[in-house]
Amino acid sequence: MNEDFLKDIQSVHFIGIGGIGVSAVARLMLTRGVEVSGSDRGASLITEKLEKEGAKVFVGHDHTQVPEECDLVVYSPAIEDTNPELILAHERGMQTLSYPQALGMISRGMRTVAVSGTHGKTTTTAMTAEVLVSAGKSPTVIVGSLLKSGTNFVAGTSNLFVVEACEYRRSFLNLSPEILVITNIDNDHLDYYGTIEGVQKAFAEMVEKVPRQGAIVCDPNDARVAPVLMNAKARIVDYTKENLAVVLAVSGEHNIKNAKAVLAVMRVLGVDQGEAEHFLKQFQGTWRRMEYKGETKGGTPVYDDYAHHPTEVRATLQGARAKFPDARIRVVFQPHLYSRTKLLLNDFAVSFDDVDEVIVATIYAAREVIDPTISAEILAQHISDAQKVSHLRVWAMLDFLTIENYLRETAKEHDVIITMGAGDVFKVGESILG
């Protein structure tokens, strides 16, 4: 742990404390005996859990909620400059850090394993954490999802720090990795980077941050990864050469690749390979990664998945088809961001070949304003037009209640229902459980 950073910190206020990443840093502070307060636009299971753990949480944002004796204010990247709490912090001259900057401060002075990549980084981070914890290595862990234990943070006692390293807005460049994992590089966050070359440039800068005595775990023969390795100082460890001798509990070829990357990390850290494989075999996944939610009254299983990029959608649904070869697989897909849906429209259109039905919900805007040139109806039409299989049925349904009623009326025992997307589509699945 970066003791120089933390030694004078007695009180921290978090703006956007309910976020999956920000809340993990809040938990870290709580385990250090730091007084924690924070605000978010709404209450959630995350904020409720933080309150039980000792944080003071406010619903809504107001300058009066920032403690007068606050040593540090940490804010989510989603928080705008006009936020009244952030304005007050600046006016008072308080130390302020964005969430990525706070991760960077924690990372300094620790043996940081930074797990990056367009797809698979959450699952790979969670796999890495589970193996290291089970092997008694006691890492500190911050992951961008909830582990099966129900938390996004693990308080360790060793100098190992395992962290999910997000490339959006070059956030991961705040970290100081000793081991860098690159699962893959793909077209994403093009609203910020513009092109795949822009994405690669950020990864190349991340590669250069890894010291000579460190390691970069990746597939060096991947056409999009190879160019970012040109100026690497650290040794390159090819995870594709790892021999995975166990059958995983999580489905899909993508998870086999994730597991191989974890094995490569364990080899670098000196963890026994047989032991690592044993713990990987026990890995049950993370929150919103083909997470089993339960069954409808009629016995139809319901799953939920966070996939929101065409490559992720395709890989997840291929895994679902392999797991349920004879089922009628029905997907409720909620596109995430107007810009992503528009830029990757043709890629999304060919991502659903392995299922039998796609219900496209209204686009989840998140940080964006409505773009009338792209919609659920347009995406549904593109999916329908692009299909090579005649059995696929595609609909656009613009409100959750309509989708829920339709699924309740039509779900059969041999069906499998999957809600999919990075927004709030999981609520549909939860509402139809028996």
Residue 299 marked as a ligand binder: no
Mean pLDDT of 85-91: 98
Q: Does pLDDT of 343 surpass 80?
A: yes
Examine the residue annotation and report whether 167 is marked as an active-site residue of this protein: no
Q: Which of 121, 137, 257, 260 is catalytic?
A: 121
Mean pLDDT of 301-307: 93
- Domain span(s) for CATH 3.90.190.20 in the chain: 291-431
Residue 433: partners with Cβ closer than 8 Å, 6 or more residues away: 293, 294, 295, 296, 302
Examine the residue annotation and report whether 297 is marked as an active-site residue of this protein: no
Token pair 């496209």: residue: 360
The torsion defined by the Cα of 173, 175, 178 and 180, in degrees rounded to 10, comes to -50
Residue 120 marked as a ligand binder: yes
Examine the residue annotation and report whether 122 is marked as an active-site residue of this protein: yes
Percentage of the chain beyond pLDDT 70 is 97
Q: How confident is the model at residue 121 (pLDDT cuts 50, 70, 90)?
A: very high
- Domain span(s) for CATH 3.40.1190.10 in the chain: 108-282
Per-residue pLDDT of 27-56, as tens digits, reads: 999 999 999 999 999 998 899 999 999 999
In what side-by-side order are the strands of the sheet with 72-75?
56-59, 35-40, 11-15, 72-75, 96-98
Question: Which 3 state secondary structure label does DSSP give 422?
Answer: coil
Question: 108-282 architecture in CATH?
Answer: 3-Layer(aba) Sandwich (3.40)
Percentage of the chain beyond pLDDT 90 is 79
Distance CA 245, CA 83 (A): 52
Q: How confident is the model at residue 325 (pLDDT cuts 50, 70, 90)?
A: confident
pLDDT recorded at residue 335: 98
pLDDT recorded at residue 305: 92
pLDDT recorded at residue 2: 62
Q: Does pLDDT of 5 surpass 80?
A: no
Pairing of strands 11-15, 35-40: parallel
pLDDT recorded at residue 389: 60
Question: Which 3 state secondary structure label does DSSP give 293?
Answer: strand
CATH code for 291-431? 3.90.190.20
Q: Which of 35, 85, 164, 404 is catalytic?
A: 164
Per-residue pLDDT of 362-379, as tens digits, reads: 999 988 999 999 999 999
Distance CA 333, CA 337 (A): 13
Nearest to 17 by CA among 90, 83, 75: 75
- Between 85-89, 179-183, 411-415, the lowest mean confidence (pLDDT) is in 411-415
Question: Which 3 state secondary structure label does DSSP give 110?
Answer: coil
pLDDT recorded at residue 285: 77
CATH of 9-97, one of 3.40.50.720, 3.30.565.10, 3.40.190.10, 3.40.50.300: 3.40.50.720
Distance CA 27, CA 225 (A): 34
Residue 183 marked as a ligand binder: no
Q: Phi and psi (nearest 5°) for 353?
A: -60, -25
Q: Which of 35, 47, 85, 122 is catalytic?
A: 122
Residue 123 marked as a ligand binder: yes
Distance CA 234, CA 215 (A): 5
pLDDT recorded at residue 144: 81
Beta-ladder partners of 417: 302, 330
Per-residue pLDDT of 244-280, as tens digits, reads: 988 898 877 889 999 999 999 999 999 999 999 999 9
Distance CA 387, CA 361 (A): 19
Q: How confident is the model at residue 403 (pLDDT cuts 50, 70, 90)?
A: very high
pLDDT recorded at residue 148: 66
pTM for this predicted structure: 0.76
Q: Does pLDDT of 159 surpass 90?
A: yes
Residue 121 marked as a ligand binder: yes
- Domain span(s) for CATH 3.40.50.720 in the chain: 9-97
Distance CA 23, CA 46 (A): 7
Which H or E run includes 200? helix 196-209
